[in-house]
Amino acid sequence: MTSPRGPIGFLTIVLIALLSSDHAETKINSMTNADVPFPPAAPTTLNLGAICQKGHCRPRYLASFFPRSGASHFRRRGKAINRLESWYSLCCGKPEAQKLCCAQQAWKLALSQFCVEEFSTKTLAYECCEFKGDARWSCFDSELPNPDYSCVQGYTAPTVLSEPGFTFNQDACQI
């Protein structure tokens, strides 16, 4: 029989400590915590320049960003961000007088589609989706992680396919 103070005893204690520590749990949680900063800020005259000029350095959320299972609410958020960035690129190609209106329409449509996707699951929907009309937009435009559409240092957005489904309605703009 080996003394608990010998090498085997020491290895046993180390093994028990490692297996019972939070190390394994932390590793598992970090793999499933595919956080997507959400919601995106509403386009304004103050952030429109960054929306159009800094899209290349804001995150896109490819399938490889997420764990293979779980994190479906983060996947839906990532999909909404990707869709919105795609549509922003369309709006930024418009004449200066139409860019803001176009970006605002894209923002509302992307978040509306996000809410449709949220309600199509059997999980609790994102809280802002529970509201209607202006209350929904006010909710989405509060507690923002990146209100200025700032770049992520050292990040270059991958090329992603344009998302279908957005058509700018020039007639809906106030002149």
Which parts of 5-63 are beta strand (E)? Answer: none
Q: State pLDDT tens for residues 33-86.
A: 578 999 999 999 999 999 999 999 999 998 888 887 777 888 899 999 999 999
What pLDDT does 6 receive?
Answer: 61
pTM score: 0.78
pLDDT of 89 strictly over 90: yes
What pLDDT does 35 receive?
Answer: 80
- Measured in degrees and rounded to the nearest 5, phi and psi for residue 125 equal -75, 155
What pLDDT does 38 receive?
Answer: 95
Q: Which two tokens stand for residue 161?
A: 């396919």
pLDDT classification of 28: cutoffs 50, 70, 90: very low
Angle separating helix axes 96-119 and 133-140, nearest 10 degrees: 100
Please report where in the chains the tokens 């937009």 appear, as a residue: 137
pLDDT of 18 strictly over 50: no
Give the Cα separation of 13 and 4 in Å (integer).
9
What pLDDT does 4 receive?
Answer: 52
pLDDT classification of 17: cutoffs 50, 70, 90: very low
Average pLDDT, whole number, for the chain?
83
